[in-house]
Structure formats: C-alpha cells, structure tokens
Chains A and B, each alone.
Chain A
Amino acid sequence: MTSLFTFLFLLFAAVAQAISSSGSRLLVVLEDVAEKTQYSKFLGDLEGRGFQVSYETPKSESLSLFHLGERSYDHILFFPTKAKGLGPNLTANLLIKFINADGNILLALSAQKQAPTAVIAALSELDIHLPSERTGLVVDHFNYDVTSAAEKHDVLLLPTPGALRPGVKDFFSPATPNGELLAVPQAIGQVLGNGELLTPVLRAPSTAYSYNPKEEAEALGDDLFAAGKQLSLVTTVQARNSARLTVLGSADMLSDQWFDAKVQKVGGKAAVATVNREFAKRVTGWTFNEIGVLRVNWIEHHLNEEGQGNQSNPKIYRIKNDVTYSISMSEYEWDHWAAFKVPASDDLQLEFSMLSPFHRLSLKPTVSSEESTTYSTNFKLPDQHGIFNFKINHKRPFFNNIEEKNTVSVRHFAHDEWPRSYAISGAWPWIAGIGATVTGWSFFVAIWLFSKPTGKGESKKTR
C-alpha cells in the first residue's frame, strides 16, 4: 500500500515536473473571456507546455486567489482590462499576499487601456512606476515599424535584449538570433526604482520617450514621464522568496497578430519576421518557473584530516581544522532538471562567516552529471572560535535566490590537543631545568642521608 502510494506520488510529481517547477495552475484574468481568441496562439503554447489554464474576469464572483489560506493558483496572467478597479477579489494587498505566498504573476499592460488602480498600487509597492493618469505611450521616431505605424511611430522594433551584463545568463533571447526583431506595439513604459529585486529585461532605446496621447497630442508638456533607457518595457521582479512578477509593457506583443507579423524597421532593407512568439515563450517560461530555477540537492561538509573520523556534516569543528564543503546544484530547463553551470565570469561563492565573513571562496565544479553539478572547496578554518555559518548567498538576476546557511560551532583547542612540551624546541631549556633540579635535589638528599656526621653529629641529631 505504502509503496503504491509512493509510486503514485512520484508519478504525480513527475507529471507536475513536466511543466513548471512550481505547479501548473494558471489563472488568466481577462476583461471578457471571449478576448482569449486574440491570444489563441500564445495561450495555446502555454497549454501545450502543460499549464492548466482557468479564465476569469475581474468581476467574477467565483474568483478567489486563496482558498482556506492556501493559494488556489500557482500563477496569474493579467491581460489589460477596462475597469478602473479590479474588484474586491484582486486588491493590491491580495496581489502582494499572492507574491508573498510564492505565487508568480505576469502582468500584461497596454497603452490603450488604463492600468487598474490595484495594479498600480501593487507595482508602486515594488518600486515600479507607471505614467501618471495611468496612460502613457512609448514612441520612438528612429525605431518604429514602417508598415504598421508609419504615422504614429508607436510600434517599436527592437533587437532581442541579450545578456543584462557580463556574467548574467541570457534567458530571453533565442538560442540562435539571426536578425529577427521584437515588435513592441502600443507599449506603456515603466520607471524602476533602484531596488536590487528589479531587473529590466527589455529597455526602450535611447531615442524613445513616453507621452500622454490625450493631453500631449500636440506638444509635449514640461513634465516628461521618462525617456530613453530609463523606460523599461519589460520588467522582472523577483521577491526574496523567489516569487516572480513580470510587467510586460505591451500586451499586444502576445497577440496572434504580432506573432507572425512581418515588420520593417525605418531605414531597414526588407521586412523580417518578429521574434515575439519565442520571446513570449521565454518570458512566460521565466515568470512561471520553467527556466532560471536553481535547486540545491544536497550540502555536505566534513573534516578533511588524516586519522579523523571525517563524518559527514558534523555539528562542531575545531579552529584551524581543514574542512571540505560541497554543494550539489541543478537548474530547471523547461521540463527537466539539468546540471547547473555557473555562467562564465561569474562565481558560486561560499562564505564562512560569523557576524562578517572570515572566508569568501569560489566553489569549483568537481563532479558533473546529467542532472547536477557538485561544487566544492577545501579550506582551513579561521583561528577564531564561535558559531559560524557555511553560507551560500547566491543572488543573481533571473536565477532564483539561493540562500543556504549551515551552522556549525568552531571550538577552541581541547586541553589534550596542544603539542606536548617536549615537542616544542623552545621548551627544552625549561625541561632541562626541571631535570637538573630533580637530579640535584636527589643528590642532595642522598648525600644528606648517607654521609655520617662526624664529631658533634650526635648532639645535632638530638636537637
């Protein structure tokens, strides 16, 4: 019975693993369920990857993010809605609570529909800011699509983003880019605060700016919302619990229309296909924990000294012990766990710390298999007793946060672990001194005892 149960459980786990590393229940919030036909290819892709998609409108009575204190969905996908609010079931507090409960959110906005207040409030908690009055359109007079937006310049054509900076893995570009362009129609730009949890994926080109089409149709006001690289078109947030939220400035990017469109950049030679479908797959894949997910399989540390028991993961070490630390890690790639490889020019670091790090060491890959890589290092414990942590604090953009802390006590030398006195050459004079005193005294006693006093000895004895 137990084995059958275990088998079923494993089977279920395997099925669950086949899509996202953190569950497959996806809620899609639309203005009207009928709207989903616009995004049929996009949603079809998601269902094809194994997500169980439920569709709800904000006004639906049955919509509830939590049931009995547990999340009802693993992921939420918001499409633009018309209403100013999202109703009592989707307040800003509930959205933050959903993130705090490890839920992921993909937020698709559009310049044509005002963002709901709940979304704006939730985003402002995350230090992501949308244009005031909830409207704003990003235009670029140098990077627009001549076929569809020759007049308005509001369909931006951008190359795939590439790596954020050296050492950061690029999750959002196709494996083999060959000049395809990303079409970003009617985007609403976001301005990001300086928080370390925010990472822009796709930034507007330096020639883009955001304006309010209703009020500033004729001329720009004094108060420009933002321009250039400060405008983020696709922003990711990864909370401390590794829950992910992506803000997509342009919901139209996901529509069928732009999945297979041919676009031509201003000044471009020929029309090229958009890469939107691939980009959408990667953005959703990242948001819904299909890529960029790291797992620590096991951590092991042991004494690395001859003649010792060298048991695994002891609770206590001694100062100046030689110690080996190993950690096995895997990375989730769409539907399976694979060996985690640290990107070039990045490091997986181990800290050995008490209040502050005493050691900060790069871990080197030692054993690599299909499913995991083992990183390890040897080092000598500091000459300081205390309660130390082996700490892995691996927080990189787009990878989930790895924070592993293994506490060990480092004790002082026990009374019988010091070298013996005769092993220390500096102690030899003292040992010789003791020897001299002992022999001298013995001689004295011997002479005293065996030399018979002469003459007056008798009277001395009686005295």
Chain B
Amino acid sequence: MAVATATDSSSPMQTLADFGKSKSLRTLLRVLILCFIAGAAVSSRLFSVIRFESIIHEFDPWFNFRATKYLIANGFYDFWDWFDDRTWHPLGRVTGGTLYPGLMVTSETFASCWPPAFSGLTAFAAYLLTNEMTTNTSAGLLAAAFMGITPGYISRSVAGSYDNEAIAIFLLVFTFYLWIRALKLGSVLWGALCALFYGYMVASWGGYAFITCLVPLHAFVLICMGRYSTRLYVSYTTWYALGTLASMQIPFVGFLPVRTSEHMPALGIFGFLQLVAFIYYIRSSLSGAQFKAFLFVGLGAVFGLALLALVAMTSAGYIAPWSGRFYSLWDTGYAKIHIPIIASVSEHQPTAWPAFFFDLNLLIWLFPAGVYLCFQDLKDEHVFVVVYALFGSYFAGVMVRLMLTLTPIVCVAAAMAASQLLSTFLSVKSPVAKDPEQEDATDVSSKKIKQNAGSLRSTNSPYVGVYSFMSKGLVSGIMTIYLLLFVLHCTWVTSNAYSSPSVVLASRMPDGSQHIIDDYREAYQWLRQNTKEDAKIMSWWDYGYQIGGMADRPTLVDNNTWNNTHIATVGKAMSSSEEVSYPIMRQHEVDYVLVVFGGLLGYSGDDINKFLWMVRIAEGIWPDEVSERKFFTPRGEYRVDGEATETMKNSLMYKMSYYNYHTLFPPGQAQDRVRGVRLPDTGPVLNTLDEAFTSENWIIRIYKVKDLDNVGRDHAAAASFDRGHKKKKAIKKRGPRTLRVD
C-alpha cells in the first residue's frame, strides 16, 4: 500500500528527474528511506521506556487508558452511552458524550494503539503533503525525516504518552494532504476521502477546529486572490457537507458545527462559495455592465443580510458566541482575568521564544525560507502553506500547546527550503548557459539566479561564484553539519526533556547514579489497597485522572475540566479554613483528601505553588468568601513561613501541606526547600482531618476526613479534649444566659 502510493504521488517528478536511472530502483530507495525514517521515529520515542519503564505518562493518558479498558470490557454501545460514576462525584460525567472516542476506538480495533507507531505514519503523511507542494523528490523525504524526529511533535507521542494528539497529528497532516489533493484534482472522491479523515480527526481530538478554520480560510484567500475554480467549488463543498455530517456523529460535537462561532467560518465560506459560483454562472450569461450592477447590488445585499442574520442569531442565543478558550487566543491576558481555569494550565501559557528553538531547532530558520519559496511558484497549494504558516505561527506563539499544530507545516516548509539548498548545491554538474536541457534538470533556484543575473556582480559569472566546487562543498558541508546537529539536538531533547513520565521523578545521586522517586505510585497504591472501593478522594484536578487510573477511586474533579463550579468548590475547600471546608467535604461525601507537597524534596510542581490558582478559581465563583488578596502579606508577598497571612495559615491546603512537617527537623531548622524559607517551630493544627498516609519523600500526603463528633461537639473541642485539656466553663458568669429552647 505504502509503496503504491509513494510511487503514485511522485510519478510526475519521475518523468522530469529520471535520467537513465531505473525508476524501480528509485522507488525501492524511497521506500527504504521511508522505512528507516519510520524506524528512527519509533525508536527515538522509546527513550522513556529505556530510561524509566513501560508506564503511562502525564495525566490525560490515564483517562484514555481507563476509557479504553471500559470500551474493551463493555463493547462499543455501552461505551457510547457510558455514564461514569467514578469521577466528578457526585455529579458523574456523561463520558461517552463528552470525549473524543477516536483514540480508544482505534486502539480497540487494532488490538493495541501504540503512539510511536503513529509517528511513522505521520512522517509518511508529511512526505505525501510535501510532495504535493514541490516537484523536488528529496523534499518529501526530508519532511518525513524532520517530522519523524522533531521534538515539537515527539513531546506528545513518546511511548507511554497514550494521548489523543498521538493519532491526531497524523490525521491532521493526512487530512491536509487529502484536501490539497482534492483541490488540485477537483475530485469528489478525494474530497470525500478528506471528509472521512476529517471525521476521524473530529473523533480524535478537540484540535479539529484548526482544520475547520484553516480549510475555509484557504478557500477564502483563494477566492479573494481571484482563484475561484470549479475544482475549489467541488472539493470544498464535498468536504464541508460530508465532513460536517461526519463530525456531527460524535456526541461531544453534536450540533456545535451549526451553533458555535468557531464553526461559523466553515459554514460562511460554504455559503459564500455558492454565491461565488452563482455569480460566475451569471457572468457567463450577462453582459459586462449588467453584471457589474448585479454584482454590487446582489452581492452587497446578500453579504449584509448574512452578517445581520449571524449577529441576530448570536445575540438571540441560537449561535454560541466565541468560547473563552478562543478569546484567549486573541488576547493572552483575557484568560487570566476571566477564566483562570484555562490560564492555570501550563500548556495554555504563551510560548517563550526559546521554546521555538528548543522544539524545532534549525527548522525554525529554514521555515521562513520555505514559505518564501512558496511565493516563487504560487499555486493553490502554496497558498495553503502560506496561510497555514501564518496562522500556525500566531497560535503557536499564543499557546505552548499549539506548537504541535505548527510543527507539521514547519517540517514541510523547512524540508522544501533544505531540499532546495541541497539539490542546488549537491549537483556536480554546472549549468551551461542557455542550455534548455540543463535548465530542466536544475531547479527553480537556478532560474532565479538567472533572473537576478543583472543585479549581483558575483552571479554574473556563475562559474566562479555559485557553481564552483568550493562554494558547493562549503554550503553542502555546512548544511550537512546543521542536519547532523539537528539530529543530535533532537536526540538530546527527546531523551532528556520529553521522556520523563512525570509520575516517576528521576534525580541524580551524589555518585552520579540515577535515583527514582516513586512517591506518586506509592501513594496511589496505598489508596488502592487501604481504602474502600468507593472512597471519594478530593484533590486538585491535576491528579484526578491519575487517581482514577492508578488508584481506581472516585474523585471529585479531574483533568476533564467540564464543570468550573465543581472545581471552584474544591478550590474553596482547599483555600478556606477548616470550619468552612468541613461542611463542603461532608456534603460531597469526601473520604480522603490528597495533597502534593514538594517542600522536603524541593519538588516545585506542588500544590502550594498551584495554590493561587485554586484561590483565583474559587474567588471567581465566591468573591465574597475567598479573596486572593488575603493570601498576600501587606507588602504583596506570597509567603508560607512565619510571616504568612492568617488566611494562608488557616487554609486547609497550608495546614495539610505543613502538618507535622516541623517534626522532621531539629527545633528552629524546619525548612521548605521549594520556597527556600524557614518555617515556624509550631506546625499547624488539624482538627477535622486525620493524617492517613505520607509518602516516602512527603510528596503525597493523604488525610482522612473525620466523621462528625459522636457526642455532638465541634472538632476543635473534641480534639482538645482528646489531648487532655479540660473544657472551659461554658456558662458565663456575666451576660445573658443562653437558654435551651425545645
């Protein structure tokens, strides 16, 4: 299959570039190279297994794993109607209707879904896409190689990262390939194929909206450039009609394609295309002057009416306005103020500049060159690259996470630039001026050089300038070194930065050997073995999926952040005093509370460092009861030591984190190694919770929620009585008596 397609798509250039060499040999070589690329792509994703062990990484994969287990155990229809009563206690989650089932169904169908395997397919898809863009044979192979090992994509598809993105990026690239193919051929068949894979993409990842917006945008730009064609009409309408129907089959998407603003561009362009087609038809049967008048009046009226209808329906509530997540794409400060829950995720932060270089290395500077090359020969598909490049870059700059959608186009464009460079400079033959055969053999750039011949002196005599062995050797040598450095960089980044499972931490012992810190799994195992099957665990939502997956216990909130109020409730319980938190925990039937504390080990991703987000999210719902300001000292510092504010010291989170912590140290020496501060000698007092478990390095601390006091006292009084203190005289000598009312 792979062989056939490869031959197919590259056949046009075969005829151009084939000089005496056997076609079958080239095909064989190409297949071999692609196989090697796939091999390299897969093996570079196995660092995590070698470094740690075969374990599921991060957070979301734990849910995917659980969902897949459910699917395999109960079959597809039960999965489709799955009501999950072990998360979001006591609300439950209509999981079957609120997930993207693509990954689970894929892995059920193929017995196992192994994300690295999909990276091989992604590389192949990048190869196909690039071949649509250029006639240069090597560009596709380079793109495949880039796609295979670039860290920007590896970050989400290492072994153990059982996540939607693993298959979604393959589908993204492949859908774009099919779209370009359909557009080029104006074929209903390819358009339908494109819609099919678009449907698969919708089933797999929420990022499908990227396709939903990019394809119409491409079509719109083409129309604006005066490039309307029946090919465009056929491919777009086929894709839109079938793709939308396909996407509506996913319960989570449902009627969103006709009801939300994110999907409106696709619908709008669909209508616009009908108009344009109609106008083209009218133009063919009307005279020029009549047509002009018709165009202005008719088009203006229709456009105005459509816009009015959109505004009216949006304000009437039929069409949902842009969601907060989308606003945060335009205004990076928006989320922090209005939707802290989105801003609190590290993946949703704006990208730092070094991250581009870190994830893409040399591709990031080859990328603009590739985009520039597209302008050289601006066909419809090159417009796509330009549009994609512009949008992808913008979004990648706004959100770290969207680096993933930028990566494919960077690989394609960079491969075009690199192959252009290499094929220009690796060619031993020098062109003979005015030789038509040579002109064919060499590439676009040589034409360019000739076109620019008058401008630069050095290019006037090509034999001394560009075509000398010296310059060829130098440029190709440097390029080779760059490519080798790129491979080194990718390998290093993959093995060091993107292969840690985050459930297991690694540290170095003084003698250089690796020490594994396994507190998370220790704690989850404890929960699994020591608590009731239906013991409800309250923790911050980051750990919800892991508790569900590893400890198999119901949680209050998890990484599927569908209910902001419920998360805010947990935030309120964590950030309020015990007296306020206890009734909340009772109401939600919480049995255990789990906190992550890094103070002993210096693990900075702990709950005290995330605490302000909990406060902010809770404040969003209960501004009267929780106030972020109260967690800062009058001088505006966020402190946890003796100078911490009373609100901070009384908050449940603070108490749970530092409970009994001072006993580990000699008096006066208690230290928090994350915040780097010395703690007071007397630790916090907990009345409503009992410490149940603390992991080896104190990273995870689990507390049991006490029952109501058996004889009706409040917990503080009961605890003080248990410690042997006598109750103070309850009846006051002065003041009015409190009388019993029956």
Contact = CB atoms under 8 A, between A and B. Distances in A.
Interface of A: 92-93, 96, 99-100, 121, 124-127, 129, 164-165, 191-198, 200, 223, 226, 230, 237, 239-241, 243, 316, 354-355, 385-388, 407, 409, 411-412, 414-416
Contact of B731 (A129, A164, A198): A129
Given A223-B733, A387-B90, A387-B92, A415 B251 contact: yes
Nearest to B536: A387
Contacts of B77: 414-416
B89 interface: yes
A229 B709 CA distance: 28
Contacts of B534: 407
B92 A230 contact: no
B706 to A, nearest CB: 12
Nearest to A223: B733
Contacts of A92: 721
B710 interface: yes
Interface string B714-742: 00010001101011001101000111111
B15 to A, nearest CB: 27
A93 B726 CA distance: 11
Interface stretch (B78-86, B480-488, B628-636): B78-86
Contacts of B710: 99-100, 239-241, 243
Given A121-B726, A237-B711, A385 B739 contact: no
Contacts of B94: 385, 411-412
B740 A192 contact: yes
A127 B721 CA distance: 13
Given A239-B712, A387-B89, 13 more contacts: A100-B711, A124-B730, A129-B730, A191-B731, A194-B738, A198-B740, A230-B740, A239-B710, A240-B711, A355-B90, A385-B92, A409-B92, A414-B77
Nearest to A226: B737
A121 B727 contact: yes
Contacts of B587: 355
Interface in B409-437: none
Contacts of A100: 710-711
B708 interface: yes
Contacts of A386: 90-92
B207 interface: no
Contacts of B709: 240
B265 interface: no
A415 B81 contact: yes
Interface of B: 77, 80-81, 83, 85, 89-92, 94, 97, 251, 534, 587-588, 707-713, 717, 721-722, 724, 726-727, 730-731, 733, 737-742
A191 B91 CA distance: 44
Q: Give the interface centre of B724, B731, B733, B741 by most chain A CB atoms within 10 Å.
A: B731
Please indicate which of the listed interface residues A92, A99, A125, A198 has the most CB atoms of chain B within 10 Å of its own CB.
A125
Contact of B712 (A196, A230, A316, A407): A196
B711 A415 contact: no
26 contacts: A93-B722, A96-B721, A100-B711, A124-B730, A129-B730, A129-B731, A191-B740, A194-B740, A194-B741, A197-B712, A223-B733, A226-B737, A239-B710, A240-B708, A240-B711, A355-B90, A355-B588, A386-B90, A386-B92, A387-B89, A407-B534, A409-B85, A411-B94, A412-B81, A412-B97, A414-B81
B370 to A, nearest CB: 39
A282 B740 CA distance: 25
Contacts of A200: 740, 742
Contacts of A409: 83, 85, 92
B contact face: mostly helix, strand, loop, or mixed: loop
Nearest to B78: A414
A361 B588 CA distance: 22
A71 to B, nearest CB: 15
A132 to B, nearest CB: 8
Given A121-B727, A197-B711, A240-B710, A387 B742 contact: no
Contacts of A316: 83, 85
Nearest to B708: A240
Nearest to B534: A407
Given A193-B740, A407-B534, A415 B80 contact: yes
A387 B91 contact: yes
Nearest to A242: B710
Most-contacted residue by chain B among A93, A230, A414 (CB, 10 A): A414
A412 B83 contact: yes
A100 B740 CA distance: 25
B635 to A, nearest CB: 40
A165 B710 CA distance: 25
B83 A126 contact: no
A411 B83 contact: yes
Nearest to A353: B90
A30 B429 CA distance: 119
Nearest to B726: A121
Nearest to A100: B710
B93 to A, nearest CB: 9
Contacts of A412: 81, 83, 94, 97
A198 B711 CA distance: 10
Nearest to B588: A355
Nearest to A412: B94
Enumerate the 7 nearest inter-chain pairs by beta-carbon distance, A residue then B residue, closest first. A411-B83, A414-B81, A409-B85, A387-B90, A197-B712, A195-B712, A239-B710
Contacts of B712: 126-127, 195-197, 239-240
Nearest to B739: A230
A412 B85 CA distance: 11
B220 to A, nearest CB: 28
Contacts of B588: 355
B276 to A, nearest CB: 23
A190 to B, nearest CB: 10
B538 to A, nearest CB: 14
Contacts of B83: 316, 385, 409, 411-412
Contacts of A388: 90
Contacts of A194: 738, 740-741
A396 B163 CA distance: 54
A398 to B, nearest CB: 13
A241 to B, nearest CB: 5
Nearest to A99: B711
Contacts of A415: 77, 80-81, 251
A237 B713 CA distance: 13
B584 to A, nearest CB: 10
B634 to A, nearest CB: 38
Contacts of B711: 96, 99-100, 125-126, 197, 237, 239-240
Contacts of B722: 93
Contacts of A197: 711-712
A224 to B, nearest CB: 10
Nearest to A165: B742
A239 B707 CA distance: 13
B91 A193 contact: no
B721 A93 contact: yes
A96 B739 CA distance: 25
Contacts of A99: 710-711
B32 to A, nearest CB: 44
A170 to B, nearest CB: 15
A94 to B, nearest CB: 12
Given A239-B711, A409-B85, A415-B251, A164 B742 contact: yes
A22 to B, nearest CB: 16
A237 B588 CA distance: 28
Contacts of B713: 125, 127
Contacts of B739: 230
Nearest to A245: B711
B131 to A, nearest CB: 31
Contacts of A243: 710
A390 to B, nearest CB: 13
A386 B97 CA distance: 14
Given A99-B710, A125-B711, A197-B711, A354 B90 contact: yes
Residue of B77, B717, B740 with most partner-chain A CB within 10 A: B740
